[in-house]
Structure 1
Amino acid sequence: MYVIYINDRPLVLREAGTPGPYGDTAPDTHLVARYSGKRKSLLNYADTLEKGSQKVSSVELLTDDLAGLWDDFQSHYKWVEAAGGLVTHTGHGKQLFIFRRGYWDLPKGKLDAGEDRAAAALREVREETGLEDVTLGERLPTTFHTYRTKKHRILKPTYWFRMTTAQDDLVPETGEGIERAEWRTVASVLAADDPLYENLRALLLRA
């Protein structure tokens, strides 16, 4: 199963007969359809979510060939990889969050040419928060979201890793639009009525 966030709304691609993410809790604005096999139809669903239709808040596409559906979906997009980290302080046990462009987020950024995912995640955490002594941990689920440039539709996978540090002081990278870097608990962030990207919320619920 793949979950791609388009304008902060989920598009779910899953194999027919497998459990979906919503069960009986899906809202009335959740659309479930079977993939027709026509690649262009995927853009119709993507555009509906991108435009923020009040009638459709999420879409779930079913198929007997998930790999084929995933390939068809990717064919419409330029692939841009990113990596980041969920950093836990080994002393007080809180996690590191940044506030950027009006949303709480985790430190992350694009991979440099030839850079592996773990190295990119560590680099981005260090650059965006001022931490120097950071230890890499296990992989977390990958998130996917889309956006547009003037020339391309972009599909951005972000590879997440757990990390730990004993450092306290944080220095947000203001040149990247980061206004604050703070130690908070995942539970407090999820419970607060603060702006949070939905793909990040889904990641934190599983972390």
Structure 2
Amino acid sequence: MYKVFVNDKPLFLTSVVEKETDFQLFLLESIDIEQLIAKMFSGRIEKAFLYYPDEKQGLKLLKEKIPVAKAGGGLVYNKKGEILFIFRNGKWDLPKGGIEKNEDIEDTAVREVEEETGVKGLKITGKLQKTYHIFKRNGNYKLKITSWYEMTTKYDGILTGQIEEGIEKVAWLKPAEITEALKNSYENIKLLFEEDSIKQTLL
């Protein structure tokens, strides 16, 4: 099952038909996707399931219905085992950003972390799950697919938030602080911390 977030509300891509309880079920093939997204943005629908017999094919079909924007981001550990967070738009987030022309997605992730936080010497140590969310720009909906990477760095210099990206604060957070920060974060970011390898750092 794929989780796509629309204004932080979940839209599930599923190949299983469940009896409806607190959500609405739609057929991916026939749904007017823009209308559904508009209803989720306005709060008229809080949670929805999109059914397609094959989930991977379903994701492919969704990409055909909504233009895709690719992004890369990093979940970065320092020598003390703290994790790098940014604070913008009133929420805690992880550094990420859009891919540039002819750029490899791993290079995107490293470049964006450096640009948004000022942290250098980044080394990718693992690949995390992709996250999906739908946003609106210039009146059009786009599906942002972010590839996330686990990274490490020995950098202990000054943290510098990228002002033009609206980043107010950059901080290394300890496990207890992360648990608190996630209460004021995005659902996509919370998903990353549900991965077993990362869950361990919060215990």
- CA-atom RMSD in angstroms: 2.3
Partner residue, 1:38: 30
Aligned partners of 1:34 and 1:63 also within 8 Å = no
Determine if the alignment matches structure 1 residue 161 to structure 2 residue 173: no
Cα–Cα, structure 1 residues 69 and 194, in superposed 2: closer, same or farther, change >3 Å? closer
Secondary structure (helix, strand or coil) at the match of 1:81 reads strand
Secondary structure (helix, strand or coil) at the match of 1:205 reads coil
Give distance in 2, aligned partners of 1:15 and 1:194: 30
Aligned partners of 1:83 and 1:121 also within 8 Å = yes
Q: Deviations over 1:77-100 (max 9, x none)?
A: 11111101000012x111000111
1:152 to 131, 136, 140: 140
Give distance in 1, aligned partners of 2:154 and 2:46: 41
Aligned partners of 1:100 and 1:178 also within 8 Å = yes
AA at the equivalent of 1:12 = F
TM-score for the superposition, normalised by structure 1: 0.84
Give distance in 2, aligned partners of 1:98 and 1:122: 15
Cα–Cα, structure 1 residues 63 and 184, in superposed 2: closer, same or farther, change >3 Å? same
Cα–Cα, structure 1 residues 173 and 34, in superposed 2: closer, same or farther, change >3 Å? closer
Gaps of 5+ in 2: 199-203
1:150, CA displacement in angstroms? 2.4
Partner residue, 1:73: 62
Q: Deviations over 1:177-197 (max 9, x none)?
A: 111110103553233575211
Secondary structure (helix, strand or coil) at the match of 1:120 reads helix
Determine if the alignment matches structure 1 residue 7 to structure 2 residue 7: yes
Identity rate of aligned residues, in percent? 31
Q: How many residue pairs were aligned?
A: 194
Cα–Cα, structure 1 residues 9 and 95, in superposed 2: closer, same or farther, change >3 Å? same
Gaps of 5+ in 1: 21-25
TM-score for the superposition, normalised by structure 2: 0.85
Partner residue, 2:86: 98
